[in-house]
A and B are shown apart, each in its own frame.
Chain A
């Protein structure tokens, strides 16, 4: 086993174990922390595959942004009773079914791309990524940013409407 594959498989194991802990731990804050660890391990997977820009972007956006904001929300809105939640309810059979369906879909993708590890030394990916996004896929890129801006404005609009109407349920 080479160093690269050792790094890859240890990161994969870390991502899976911490993801499992996210959905099984009863303390909401602990779950949020393990979510951050899981996202960081996914960033490690990108690094092991030689995708340097994606690695830095994943850390910047997911670990430094989204995981922190989730923790912020948990701490801001959390009550003491939230710290001892059961994470499963009586609908586990339906949940299992949904999982099976999405796993089948993922498996069909995995079969195509399995065992395609980076063979050569990683090359810088920032410039090709920029050219892809701004030239070859400029239209999808702009549409995605439009959708995200609309979602942002919608969120602001609804939170403003709630604040202006004190009778609305919080």
Chain B
């Protein structure tokens, strides 16, 4: 660091003058460089920042307005259905056409839940990870806290070259991202986004979600094997072992909830948690002494492991396996794996909110005026924050520790929890 005194003449063509240092101790006296911190000290002075803020407020307002309309119109869905049916019958179309149109509308809405969640969660994860690590994260794209970063990244991924390795099994390699991403969209069908806000009322909803969430691992294995790369193969093998193992405590931790509510239907489970103890403690399953907290913790840990996120990310451990099973993917195929990851994070968040946090129920009596979908979304987003927080706080497990933790801690305790719940049901009710 060379200190330039204030007495020296500045170079003629320099627009920004040199910083001024104390000649004795070299301490910075006057910093004239264009530091980003100077911009951030007064961000509202920048017109781009103001424009970005306005745009973002507009987008969020539009999303909320649409959501409000959907929330308010959900009981009117039958009317919309009748309208479609009358149009179909006026045109001489069979009943099947009405059903198909109706299902297609619902499927489109569910698909966009997954897609928009990808845009939002990636940006939020970047900001949270950055602030946890004393950085600031994306800042420039969109002008306002880098809110447009994911959109620009999506465009970049679309324009990237799609590479298939020469030794790859072409068909399996190309199909793997589809097999990974389709189950997460299907698994969202019975998820309730509030009271009476589910695309499909499936009586075995919980089982259905766990069943389809388990299919994605086939795509991971396919991608790992078909890439013709030893790192990918190792990542695929690790992913299989991990996902098949952690599915067990994840499923068994929900069994107490199913036992208390007496149904596999998500809306029935959410409805079973309505009401308050002593007038102010909500009857959520997380507040059931011992059983509720144990089930919540096991389900949360197993869900983090199922999404291959950091304490459990040995399938894509960067320091060992390049990036694991998706090493040989680029462009949109690569982004499919991440769309799936964030889709499963959102699914786990909605499940946590439904199983343990009362679904669309208000936390305190008197707050029911706020629509149930806002409570549901708020709880799911709080859970998503926990997911991101966990990811950027804990170091990675070793492969053997990961298996020990599952088979010697989570699984026995989830069995014990079922026994606790059965005892409570038998002797306390």
On A, residues with C-beta under 8 Å from B are 3, 29-30, 33, 36, 40, 52-53, 55-57, 59-60, 63-65, 67-69, 71-72, 75-76, 124, 126
Contacts and interface: CB of A to CB of B under 8 A. Distances in A.
A68 B218 contact: yes
Given A68-B240, A72-B221, A126-B204, 14 more contacts: A29-B172, A33-B222, A40-B215, A52-B208, A56-B208, A56-B211, A60-B214, A63-B214, A64-B211, A64-B244, A68-B218, A72-B241, A124-B203, A124-B204
Contacts, number: 79
Contacts of B203: 52, 124, 126
A30 B172 contact: yes
B221 A68 contact: yes
Nearest to A64: B214
Nearest to B241: A72
B247 interface: yes
Given A56-B207, A60-B210, A64-B211, A71 B240 contact: yes
Contacts of B264: 126
B207 A68 contact: no
Interface of B: 96, 99, 169, 172, 202-204, 207-208, 210-215, 217-218, 221-222, 224-225, 233, 236-237, 240-241, 243-244, 247, 264
Given A33-B172, A63-B215, A65-B214, A56 B204 contact: yes
Given A56-B208, A60-B214, A126-B264, A65 B244 contact: yes
A53 B264 CA distance: 10
A68 B204 contact: no
Contacts of A64: 211, 213-215, 217-218, 244, 247
Contacts of B222: 33
A53 B247 CA distance: 18
A126 B237 CA distance: 34
Contacts of A57: 207, 211
A124 B221 CA distance: 34
A52 B218 contact: no
B74 to A, nearest CB: 23
Contact of B225 (A29, A40, A65, A68): A29
A124 B262 CA distance: 14
Most buried by B among A33, A56, A67: A56
A40 B243 CA distance: 19
A71 to B, nearest CB: 5
12 contacts: A3-B96, A53-B207, A57-B211, A59-B214, A59-B215, A64-B214, A65-B247, A68-B218, A68-B240, A72-B237, A72-B240, A76-B237
